[in-house]
Structure 1
Amino acid sequence: DIRTMFYIGGNDSMDTVTSLSEYATEHNIEGIQFVGCPKTVDNDLRIIDHCPGFASAAKVLATTQLQTWLDYNVYTREEVFILETMGRDAGWLAASTCVTGKVDLLVLPEEVFDKDLFFDQVREIIAEKNKCYIVISEGVRYADGTYLSAGKSKDDTFGHAILGGAGQALKEMLIEEGVTSRAKVQDMSTLQRSYAAQQSKVDVEESFRLGMSAHMHSMDPSFTGKMVALRRVEGDVYDIEFFAVDSKEIANHVKGFPLEWALPNYRGVTQEALDYFVPLLQGQPHIYYDDNGTPRHVKPYYLR
């Protein structure tokens, strides 16, 4: 009795929506629809203004950046702190931490990593502050395309390199080159996309509304091979509107963080970037807790 399949995910997932829809058409399979619903913390989908899930992950990272910055400033000793975020090809998550105003250097996968230039920047900031706070994306590469990450593995099920360890690799380089004698690394790993106790209310409400929009679109039997998207409405007050796009326009494409929003010499992001991020992080939904004091969750279907 299932007539509509709602597929939730990122660009690889939209490729699946496209493939299933095309298969049904080629084999004259009628009465079933394939509808894409965007959801990726990477925020790397084309056409859409931002992706459901991104704002909550960004809020977790920005909060972590601020709190670890406060912690490492308790001590007067010289120290470098490195926060590693997700982002194989797109630096949206790393860049979002700059909303705190406490990030000294930002290293994005969209920019070629220039070790000498970067080390000079670290030395300059340490000379000024005796400290340096660095945010680095896991997918940072050298000019030849090789990853800075020490944790590069073969690939995932979609043929993408499995990364992790860019922060640790950077720490070791800084110490070996004598740039600093002390550095700490905070690798957020899966925590940044699964820490449900810290969410953006804007993100939660928009995600629900997008799901409802997808449901309403599905009332049209010809609505298949599509993804429901959102765009920002121009004006002084933040708002969005929903629209639909062919899933093939999203599939296997990556929208990187705009280089024009990145300041020179790894020094953070522009005001335009901050204006993009800040409205998305607003509010905190009510979190329900169990008798043990931990957040309540709906039991996943695969564990029932």
Structure 2
Amino acid sequence: MAKKNLLYAQSGGVTPVINATACGVIETARVNRDQVGKVYAGENGIIGVLRENLIDTSKERKGDIAALRHTPGGAFGSCRFKLKGIEDNRAEYERLIEVFKAHDIGYFLYNGGGDSSDTAYKVSQIGSKLGYPVQCIGVPKTIDNDLPITDNCPGFGSVAKYVAVSIMEASLDVESMASSSTKVFILEVMGRHAGWIAAAGGLAQREDGDPPHIILFPERPFEQRAFLKRVKESVEKYGYCSIVVSEGVRDRKGKFLSDSGVRDAFGHAQLGGVAPVIASLVKEKLGYKYHWAVSDYLQRSARHVASKTDVDQAYAMGKAAVDFAIAGKSGVMPTIERTSDKPYRWKVGEAPLSRVANREKKMPARYITKDGFGITPSARKYLEPLIRGEDYPPYDKQGLPKYVRLQKKLAPKKLDPFEVDD
């Protein structure tokens, strides 16, 4: 039986460890040459696949592939592009199958979050209908930690560590100047519908008075009066108030505090920055001097402070995806199963993509304090193991991390051009 080629693609917003997953995929495929032929990577995700821009990873040096494990960003390029249903856009599905046929693709691994899981699920279902079955595996990735079934998502642990460290360090700065300067500091983090990242800031709290003094979650409607009361109490008691706010915080009517009125490629509201909104409210109602920061891309690219647990799990998901494909599985996603809290242990599990696609896992109510401004011991028990361990990248003589850029040589095209409305 002829060996099948494998196609891997990255999707959506990248994480500090998505390339560790890519490393796991490619290295595992390379040691299974009797079952896997060439390994291609879509240039800029599914868009690259549709355009037949396939990177031939066999042209990459072994050392460079290994270096992906400690390199941030998306080494092969990512995109925000969601396939419609086949009844709405049959041409895209037919094009995918044409590309698969032209390059003898038997395995398709799509590395992304909820919307990407939807794409992977659709591809897993459509091959047989169009006369070319392909084994499709979804590979989990999202800093938002909102995929169902899996205990946690690769990428989240490192972002959680970054946020906890950042609010701890920034708060020490604010505290040292609070007597004559800034009284309130606000750190905005990602999290449209789920407050996992914001909750991670709570890990900086070890004793009474430790920051952050307030966490604002998407799961709880923003109550202006209660918020301002807590800010005032914190400033009077501790000299300053440190706040972590999720970008997805809404008012009682369900409107994002920072909704800009624009929609992204997935149809999601484009959020315009909630930190300055909160800061203006503090200034207007309480008169306190403030500073705010938006972690934005910094949080999802901070590989220098990655969690070792996260790196190990990201690599393991890539390896498991290849193992699943070789074993003949399709329409599934490898997951992380927590088997013990003390000591923390986990193993690789499995979930059908039909139960993952387009579903969000939000913060359980038991993880948020009754006042809505902090995390509970249960949340801390869940979060703490995910940020443990250091996995620093190597550094050069100039004191900067040694990250890798791949050659990304494209395989020769065999088909006519295809227009993609991206």
Shared fold per TM-score greater than 0.5: yes
| Residue 279 of structure 2 corresponds to residue 171 of structure 1 | yes
For 2:127 and 2:164, the matched residues in 1 are separated by 43
Q: Deviations over 1:201-225 (max 9, x none)?
A: 111011112211111111123x111
Quick one: distance in 1 between partners of 2:367 and 2:354?
27
8 Å CA contact 1:121–1:265 kept in 2: the answer is no
* One-letter amino acid of the counterpart of residue 263, structure 1: T
- Three-state SS of the structure 2 residue aligned to 1:227 is strand
Query: What SS does the aligned partner of 1:287 have?
Result: coil
8 Å contact 2:333–2:352 — kept in the other structure?
Answer: yes
Question: In the alignment, which of 103, 106, 123 is matched to residue 212 of structure 2?
Answer: 103
Contact 2:220 2:372 survives alignment (8 Å): no
Residue 45 (structure 2) aligns with: none
Structure 1 position 140, deviation (Å) = 0.3
- Find the aligned partners of 1:248 and 1:139 in 2 and give their Cα distance: 26
How far did residue 295 of structure 1 move? 1.4
Partner residue of 1:262 out of 368, 383, 407: 368
**What's the counterpart of residue 25 of structure 1?**
128
Q: 1:73-109 CA deviation, whole Å, 9 max, x = no partner?
A: 1112360110100000110000001111021011000
Deviation at 1:265, TM superposition (A): 2.4
- Residue 84 of structure 1 is matched in structure 2 by 188
Q: Gapped runs of 5+ residues in structure 2?
A: 1-103, 206-210, 411-422
**Which amino acid counterpart does residue 158 of structure 2 have in structure 1?**
S
**Cα offsets for 1:11-49 (capped at 9, x unmatched):** 00000001111111322322x211011010000011110
Amino acid at match of 2:265: T
Task: Map 1:184-223 to 2 at 5 A.
Answer: 184-221=291-328, 223=329
Q: Which has the larger radius of gyration?
A: 2
Partner in structure 2 of residue 128 of structure 1: 237
> Partner amino acid for 2:382?
Y
Amino acid aligned to 2:271: L
Q: Which moved more, 1:289-298 or 1:135-144?
A: 289-298
Cα drift, residue 303 of structure 1: 9.1
Q: The residue matched to 2:303 in structure 1 has which SS?
A: coil
Q: How much does 1:291 deviate?
A: 4.3
Q: Secondary structure at the match of 1:144?
A: coil
8 A Cα contact 2:306 2:392, kept in partner: no
Partner letter of residue 248 of structure 1? S
1:61 aligns with 2:163: yes
| Aligned residue number for residue 142 of structure 2 | 40
1:147 equivalent to 2:250? Answer no
Q: Report if aligned partners of 1:11, 1:253 keep a CA contact under 8 Å in 2.
A: yes
1:51 counterpart = 2:153: yes
Runs of 5+ in structure 1 lacking a partner? none
Change (3 A) 1:132 1:228: same
2:186–2:291 CA contact under 8 A, matched in 1? yes
Distance 1:71 1:205, change over 3 A: same
Question: So what's the TM-score if we normalise by structure 2?
Answer: 0.68
Partner SS for 2:366: helix
Deviation at 1:5, TM superposition (A): 1.3
Question: How many Å separate the matches in 1 of 2:394 and 2:354?
Answer: 38
Alpha-carbon distance change, 266 to 302 in structure 1, aligned in 2, over 3 angstroms: farther
Partner of 2:333: 227
Aligned residue identity for 1:14: S
Residue aligned with 1:197, SS: helix
Distance change in 2, residues 1:181/1:68 (3 Å) = same
Deviates more, 1:274-283 or 1:229-238: 229-238
Q: Deviation string for 1:150-208 (max 9, x for gaps)?
A: x624111111112141010000011112x232011011011100111110011101111
Matched residue of 1:265: which SS?
coil
Following the alignment from structure 2 to structure 1, what is the Cα–Cα distance between the partners of residues 200 and 272?
Answer: 19
CA change 1:34–1:106 in 2 (3 A) is same
Q: 1:266 to 1:303 in 2, by over 3 A?
A: farther
User: Do the aligned partners of 2:341 and 2:381 also contact (CA within 8 Å) in 1?
Assistant: no
Change (3 A) 1:182 1:37: same
Q: Which amino acid aligns with 2:297?
A: T
Query: 258-267 or 3-12, which moves further after superposition?
Result: 258-267
2:187 match: secondary structure? strand
Is 1:237 aligned to 2:343, yes or no?
Answer: yes
Paired position in structure 2 for 1:74: 176
Question: Do the aligned residues in 1 keep the contact of 2:136 with 2:330 (CA within 8 Å)?
Answer: yes
Q: Structure 1 length normalisation: TM-score?
A: 0.94
Q: Identity of paired residues, percent?
A: 33
Judge conservation of contact 2:158–2:306 (CA < 8 Å) in 1: yes
Task: Tell whether the 8 Å contact from 1:53 to 1:203 is kept in structure 2 after alignment.
Answer: yes
